[in-house]
Structure 1
Amino acid sequence: MADQPNWLHKLGNLLVPPSQSQTSSTVAVTNKRILTELVTSFEDSIGRESVGTSMLFNAHFLIILHPDTYEERQNAFPVIVDEAVKSFKAVIESHKGPYERIAPVASSWFFKFGGGHEFGGETVSPTDVYVVGALTGILPGNEQRQSSDKLHVTRRVKQTNRYEKVDVDLNTFQHIDFREPGAFVVKFKFDTSPSPNERAPMTGSATRNVPSLPRSMAAGLAEITYYVAELNKEDTYLMRDREIVVARKEPDNQHFPNYLLLESAYVSNPHARIRYDDATQTFQLASFSRNETRVNEQLIPRSEPANPQWYSLPDKAQILLNSMVTLHFQRTT
């Protein structure tokens, strides 16, 4: 009888090999594992995106799971997001050393969970977690697209098991079921002024001598009156964030607090970004549309959303999108 447990153990090994059961247990998708993948992706982005003395990092994340895993874990998504934000702040504090300021290009952290059986040509199994990160709101949702444009994002590559910058075709996301309950937006605000212990700036370094504007102002940094010709509609948008995205109004864009959404088929998604530049104390614009974007009749060359080329935006300017939507920009500060 003493040998029976050992005999049963051997039989169990024949039915379920140790390596298989151990692997299944190791790679099971738990709330902790989803959190770990998010934090790892975020921390990697600091080293990848930061430049000079400015700390940059990804602020937008897509978390792709197998549909069964999505259903199993969806009730925990709000808690995972809350813990992720806490961890992000801790990571930022631990990496502050070599950087003089925190300079995110977004005003919120955005998380979107989705379920799918396939992603990027790879099968999504119940034990897989895919985290895709980007600096700002350029990640698509579930809409169909005809464009063959690629997004420059970071994701863990299976061959190397490291987060790497990769190009992802927009159509890659059309098989993912992104649901409204799986979307979360968390506003953040950082003190971008130098600490008292930092050395005095070098002569001519405008960035360090410019008083920082608050990221969000009740009065707004600028006012944009826009006219949509196809609808014969006019309205006004108050620019309260340091940087905004001009995009077509679609359900998947509703969660972004810094989006100027325009009801027009002639507006791209995204079409352009407008930002306030601390160094020059001026506004700038970058265009991403294949259609024309003009500022005071001057054509603005197109650039990639992941690598924007910024052009000076006068304090008072007319911005024309695809010859159909007119924006009258007026600085208020």
Structure 2
Amino acid sequence: MADQPSNWLNKLGNLLVPSSSQPKTNPVATVSNTRILNELVASFQDSVPRESVGKSMLFNAHFLIILHPDTYEARQNAFPVIVNEAVNAFTTFIESEKTNYERVVPVAANWFFKFGGGREFGGEPVTPTDVKVVGALTGILPGNDPTQSPDRIHVTRRVKQTNRFEKVDIDPNTFQHIDFREPGAFVVKFAFSTPAPITPRPPAGAPATRHAPGLPRSLGAGLAQINHYIAELNKEDSYLMRDREIVVARKEPDNQHFPNYLLLESAYVSNPHARIRYNDEMHAFQIASFSRNETRVNEQLIPRSEPASPQWYALPDQAQILLNSMVTLTFQRHD
């Protein structure tokens, strides 16, 4: 009988403090910053062979990263570093693939990343251990690309059943359960180390030129001046083209992040409407139109092409560009 109090106390102690012999429950796994980075890099690398055409390298430049709300809160301070590491990894991969491609021709003009928290995506639950990356050439969010039908968005994502990235169409309503916050949005300008064009040496006695036939002048001084007139508003303004390539688009909140967008406040301008670039090999400007409405250069109609496969046309050093018969751009190359 003397042992009974001791046994009773031992049993009570085991209830309050589990003995070391009892199995321990494993803590819930969490998503690390490296895991998010690896998912981004995998999504990008998969897109290169999928999107590239012939000797032209194409790839996803827009990414949505969907996390469980708890994971989002735990990792949001690391998002800028993750984005920076992802861009470095993307650039390294592009450099390593240049032996397989002659040209790097992305559809977008910047890397775009948007993080969001949600408990459900596409009919599937989002758990604290999930990282869902949705990638696209450009313009993932609804309304960014008029070439897409209004009820479907063309993206690449990893399918859970196969664990492989596949091209799928997503209903824009799929995103309505995701909380995309502005602090989770990042835009990074492309910085590819493309070789400078070779300039032939002029023959002896030839007159000296004012500058090499590369870029017309420094980016800071502007490559060209574009004055624009919006008929419906009777409004004039000007734009200094400092980037080798710019996008002409309708002025909307989703476009405010992009530094190389010429935004026009007109319902007659598509989103995007056109791209203008300086071709280093030809030492000349070119234009491509993506609008279902007319784009004319000096009264000549520019046929429409797809953003993923732009058809480039010569843009004279002085030109009038007419968008949908309502917006006039006066293009002037700088010497």
TM-score range, shorter chain: 0.7 to 0.9
* TM-score (ref. length: structure 2): 0.75
- Alpha-carbon distance in structure 1 between the residues aligned to 2:227 and 2:127: 48
Q: 1:259 to 1:90 in 2, by over 3 A?
A: same
One of 140, 164, 180 as aligned partner of 1:162: 164
User: Could you tell me which of 308, 326, 329 is aligned with 1:327?
Assistant: 329
More displaced, 68-77 or 232-241?
68-77
Question: For residue 8 of structure 1, what is the aligned residue in structure 2?
Answer: 22
What is the CA distance between 1:84 and its match in structure 2?
1.6
- Aligned-partner residue type, residue 139 of structure 2: I
Could you tell me how far apart the structure 2 residues matched to 1:171 and 1:88 are?
Answer: 30
CA contact (8 A) 1:63 1:130 kept: yes
Q: Distance in 2 between matches of 1:328 and 1:214?
A: 18
Residue in 2 aligned with 1:192? 194
Distance, in Å, in 2 between the alignment partners of 1:216 and 1:42 is: 32
Query: Per the alignment, do residues 293 and 315 of structure 1 end up closer, same or farther by CA in structure 2, a change over 3 Å counting?
Result: same
| CA distance in 2 between partners of 1:304 and 1:63 (Å) | 26
1:62 to 40, 61, 64: 64
Alignment of 1:90-239 (within 5 A): 90-100=92-102, 102-135=104-137, 137-140=138-141, 148=150, 150-193=152-195, 213=215, 217-239=219-241
Give the length in aligned residue pairs: 304
Counterpart CA distance in 2 for 1:268 and 1:29 is 40
SS in 1 for 2:114: strand
Q: Which whole-Å deviations, capped at 9, do the CAs of 1:292-320 have from their partners, x for residues lacking one?
A: 33333333343333333333333322222
C-alpha distance in 2 between matches for 1:174 and 1:303: 31
Question: Do the aligned partners of 2:294 and 2:301 also contact (CA within 8 Å) in 1?
Answer: yes
1:16-35 map, 5 Å = 25=29, 28-35=30-37
Q: Distance in 2 between matches of 1:324 and 1:96?
A: 42
**Partner residue, 1:44:** 46
Q: 1:54 to 1:267 in 2, by over 3 A?
A: closer
Deviates more, 1:255-264 or 1:126-135: 126-135
Contact preservation (8 Å) 1:148, 1:171? no
Which range is displaced more, 288-297 or 164-173? Answer: 164-173
Q: In the alignment, is residue 276 of structure 1 matched against residue 244 of structure 2?
A: no
Q: Which amino acid aligns with 2:140?
A: L
Distance 1:174 1:299, change over 3 A: farther
Q: Which amino acid in structure 2 is aligned with residue 221 of structure 1?
A: L
Q: 1:227 to 1:82 in 2, by over 3 A?
A: same
User: Residue deviations 1:201-230, cap 9 Å, x none?
Assistant: xxxxxxxxx976499812222221111223
Structure with the largest fraction of helix: 1
Q: Name the larger-Rg structure.
A: 2
State how far apart, in whole Å, the 2-side matches of 1:29 and 1:284 are. Answer: 45
Go from structure 1 to structure 2 and tell me whether the alpha carbon gap of 1:291 and 1:194 turns closer, same or farther (over 3 Å shift): closer
AA matched with 1:138? G
* Aligned-partner SS, 1:126: coil
- Specify whether residues 113 and 195 from structure 1 end up closer, same or farther in structure 2 by C-alpha distance, changes over 3 A only: same
Which consecutive residues of structure 2, in runs of 5 or more, have no partner in the other structure? 1-9, 11-17, 199-211
Structure 2 partner of 1:297: 299
Per-residue deviation at 1:327? 1.3
Q: Is the 8 A contact 1:110 1:186 kept in 2?
A: yes
User: Aligned to 2:50, what secondary structure does the other structure show?
Assistant: helix
How far is 1:30 from its partner?
A: 2.2
- The TM-score normalised by the length of structure 1 is 0.76
Sequence identity (%): 73
Cα distance in 1 between the residues matched to 2:216 and 2:192: 9
What secondary structure sits across from 2:89 in the alignment?
A: helix
1:122-176 CA-partner distances (Å, limit 9, x unpaired):
44343332222233x4232799x99626444332222332223333455544543
The verdict on how the C-alpha distance between 1:305 and 1:103 changes in structure 2, with shifts beyond 3 A counting, is closer
Q: Distance in 1 between matches of 2:151 and 2:216?
A: 35
CA separation of 1:222 and 1:214: change in aligned 2, threshold 3 A = closer
Q: How far is 1:187 from its partner?
A: 2.7
Native 8 Å contact 1:138 1:305 kept in 2: no
Amino acid at match of 1:139: I
SS at match of 2:91: helix
- The match for 1:243 is 245
* Contact 1:65/1:126, CA 8 A, preserved across alignment: yes
Question: Are the structure 2 counterparts of residues 266 and 213 from structure 1 closer, same or farther at C-alpha, using a change threshold of 3 Å?
Answer: same
| Equivalence for 1:86 | 88
Return 267-276 or 115-124, whichever deviates more.
Answer: 115-124
Deviation at 1:179, TM superposition (A): 1.9
Cα deviation, residue 35, structure 1: 0.6
Farther-moved stretch of structure 1 (264-273 vs 168-177): 168-177
Name the CA distance, whole Å, in 2 between partners of 1:173 and 1:297. 42
